[in-house]
Chain A
Amino acid sequence: MSQSDSNSLNNGVHIQPLAPEHFHQQAKAALADPQLRQNFRGAMDYLKDKRKLAFSDVAEEKHIRNLSEAIRQRCLSKLPDLLEQLESNCINNGIQVHWAEDAIQANQIIADIAQRHNAKEIIKGKSMVSEEIELNHEMAKLGINCLESDMGEYIVQLDGDKPSHIIMPAIHKNKQEVSDTFAAHLDNFTPTIDVDELIQTGRSRLRQKFQDADIGLSGVNFAVAETGTLCLVENEGNGRMCTTVPDVHIAITGIEKVVEFLTDVPPLYSALTRSATGQAITTYFNMITSPRREGELDGPQEVHLVLLDNGRTQAFQDEEMRKTLQCIRCGACMNHCPVYTRIGGHAYGTVYPGPIGKIISPHMMGLEKTKDLVTASSLCGACGEVCPVKIPIPEMLQRLRNEAKNPATAAHPEIKGQASAASKTEMLAMKSFAYAATHPAIYHLGSWSATKVRGLIPSKLGAWTQCRSAPKPASKTLHQLLKASHKKDQS
């Protein structure tokens, strides 16, 4: 493997930060990187096979997907009430609840907590919402160091890189590349491609950090309104470490993660782990209901819950797009997406890549920036078919394409970046076609003319003919052919 092959996308990244506005360019770079493509192909095939085995009973799969969809839809249909219930139960349990409309407010809340404790070190469990608000970057500006402790996130952070998958953040690297990363950033590391040794290196380097951290930060998989309980799904134990060892625990999550009852958790948890990694259950399932109670000898003295909107209420206000919020972040849509499998997660330039990223990012960042993403799909439907909560992702993509091209109508509230992909030329072309198609004389004249100039169509038509042959009109129009055959039948 040559260095230039493995790093060509990374090199691009360092020159220009990844952004959804540069999707085409980033996708092109990824497609030209054979090592990256091999890493993703291998990982996606592995995860697809694992999921298939975990859902070996087709009837049971159908049943649990229907159930999970119904649970998420019920919870979303009561979202404001459930959030109030969650808040009041958390407060009763001693958890401090904070509300943030956007990334700036969320970072401010966390910075305030950190500064009140004179905190310099935050140790983090895996949290995509913290990526969403660029927490590490913002805290660094204040002299607060955030350290990732999930093995994949740790590797990615060492490289100054970003996660390329929501479940397996370092999936774009193979073991050789991980060894290279460790060699470049860790003292006294002997390069190795033995995965056990690589993991033990991560373990030993991070162990002291857990002891020293002032604050532990985590995400939340399910927030239970009924009891004010925060549930965390993980395999490594770093989630338990972050939420148990430091004196202060901050949990951050999107407002949509709330479920109504404790009994909503087991089916969703099973659907999540089987869809994500094909596991019947993860190694740890952590249920946190309060800070350390009187008489207890360990656990954080303070627990905070930060609830983030960041565009989620926009999706919520539209009945169809509200389904986007059913997501339980398993990543199965990515693993099964023919586009994601080929270009990987970085090319999207958004925190959430792949199919779910394409339908959630427009609400977070606006369609101006994300309008190309919604077109990056063949609408093959695989994402919708594997989604454990049955989000109709292909329909949602079509809807967003429509919103990107056209002004808002009375039927739906306007969304951020509405009509930002509208093109006057395209609009004029469509209008003209509509006129011709509804005026037979003009239409026939047009199609007849096409049969006459068929020899004059150039064989190269810019981007269209890069991977297609140029269209050649037939010598007779369909209308002429039908007329002729009709005559023949009569004679």
Chain B
Amino acid sequence: MSSSREAIFARLRDANPKVKTMETIAYQPWVSNETEVLKTRFIDGLSASHAEVLTTNRHALNETLKTLIIEKQFARIAIGTGGDLHSEIVKAISLVQITHPLNILQFDVDFAQCKSQLFNDIDAGITHCRVGIADTGTLVLWPDNTEPRTLSLIPPAHIALIKRSTIVSNFAELMVTEAWQNKMPTNIVLVSGPSKTADIQQTLAYGAHGPSQLVVILIEDM
């Protein structure tokens, strides 16, 4: 279809539009330098979007996670194979297993081999978050070899671990300071709450196709 390409470009070039230079208007999203303000807005935003937010510290993380798993009666959990907090996740699981049966899917095989299990036999997936955005109460997921994309997508509950020190003001600032344009991964997902829809008579319902529950564990590290 290269002739189609040529024909489209011929028509576009024929129009010979006058090139407009970069606009002088600056984007002015919400911003704050106060870490307490960032934290509050981040938690409020996520809570308003129906996510549950638990606050803990690194030392108590495995206990927090253990209690969460037991209280929610999650019996089948999918986890990744790496990340900064991976050892705490593993520890929490072994703590749960002392008193409760808990099946673990470690996502270290090709998706084709664990697809059916992920869809049908898992209650929750646990992932790290790269960054938090205070403005809109948003998690930034940056899936990789150790935590694949579907880990936060297919299980009906998603447990997201985030360090407080990663919270930034807004999306625009984040991509500029991290120079995203030079290192885009296969996939980035911004998550702001559990899956939802208002497609039937404008009535909000949760758990459309993605996770019905989003539990965010905020780790105080400042």
Contact = CB atoms under 8 A, between A and B. Distances in A.
Contacts of B109: 297
Interface in A41-97: 42-43, 46-47, 60, 63-64, 66-67, 70-71, 73-74, 76-80, 83-84, 93
A442 interface: no
B8 interface: yes
Contacts of A245: 115, 150, 154
Interface in B15-49: 15, 17-23, 25-29, 45, 49
Interface in B131-156: 135-138, 144-145, 148-150, 153-154
B197 A79 contact: no
Contacts of B62: none
B213 interface: no
B207 A296 contact: no
Contacts of A255: 8, 12
B1 interface: yes
Contacts of A175: 200-201, 203
A165 to B, nearest CB: 10
Interface residues of A, number: 101
A211 to B, nearest CB: 5
Given A77-B19, A288-B186, A244 B150 contact: yes
Contact of A287 (B189, B195, B201): B189
A76 B210 contact: no
Interface stretch (B87-95, B159-167, B172-180): B172-180
A237 B208 contact: yes
A71 B187 contact: no
Nearest to A89: B184
Contacts of A84: 9
Contacts of B191: 283-284
Contact of A290 (B18, B49, B186): B186
A211 B28 contact: no
B9 A80 contact: yes
Output the residue of B23, B138, B154, B199 with the most chain A CB within 10 A: B199
Interface residues of B, number: 79
B7 interface: yes
A121 B163 CA distance: 41
Contacts of A299: 111, 148-149, 186-187
Given A105-B1, A266-B171, A74 B22 contact: yes
A262 B9 CA distance: 23
A196 B187 contact: no
Contacts of A317: 11, 14-15
A19 interface: no
Contact of A77 (B2, B20, B111, B181): B20
Contacts of B9: 80, 83-84
A358 B115 CA distance: 45
A228 B16 CA distance: 24
A237 B149 contact: no
B8 A237 contact: no
Contact of A263 (B11, B28, B175): B175
Given A74-B21, A99-B1, A293-B186, A313 B194 contact: no
Interface in A4-57: 39, 42-43, 46-47
Given A99-B8, A291-B186, A235 B196 contact: yes
Contact of B4 (A99, A277, A285, A290): A99
A152 interface: yes
Contacts of B135: 280
Contact of B200 (A199, A289, A296): A199
B110 A283 contact: no
Interface string A250-289: 0000010000011101110110000001001111111111
Contacts of A388: none
Contact of A168 (B13, B199, B209): B199
B77 to A, nearest CB: 17
Nearest to A169: B199
B197 A199 contact: yes
A193 to B, nearest CB: 9
A174 interface: yes
Contact of A277 (B28, B49, B198): B198
A109 interface: yes
B186 A292 contact: yes
A169 B116 CA distance: 31
B4 A100 contact: yes
A288 B187 CA distance: 5
A293 to B, nearest CB: 5
B200 A283 contact: no
A297 B119 contact: no
A31 B201 CA distance: 20
B200 A287 contact: no
A255 B9 CA distance: 10
Contact of A237 (B11, B187, B211): B211
B201 A63 contact: no
B132 to A, nearest CB: 13
A1 B209 CA distance: 31
Interface stretch (A200-208, A378-386, A422-430): A200-208
Nearest to A264: B27
Interface in A91-126: 93, 98-101, 105, 109
A342 interface: no
A295 interface: yes
Nearest to A228: B184
B28 A60 contact: yes
Nearest to A239: B209
B188 interface: yes
A319 interface: yes
Given A99-B4, A286-B187, A295-B145, A76 B208 contact: no
Contacts of B75: none
A452 to B, nearest CB: 56
A363 B187 CA distance: 35
Contact of A101 (B8, B20, B170, B199): B8
Contact of A235 (B17, B203, B208): B208
B192 interface: yes
23 contacts: A64-B27, A77-B20, A83-B12, A99-B8, A105-B4, A149-B209, A203-B207, A236-B196, A236-B199, A237-B209, A238-B209, A240-B209, A244-B187, A255-B12, A281-B136, A284-B192, A284-B195, A291-B186, A297-B109, A297-B110, A298-B149, A298-B150, A317-B11
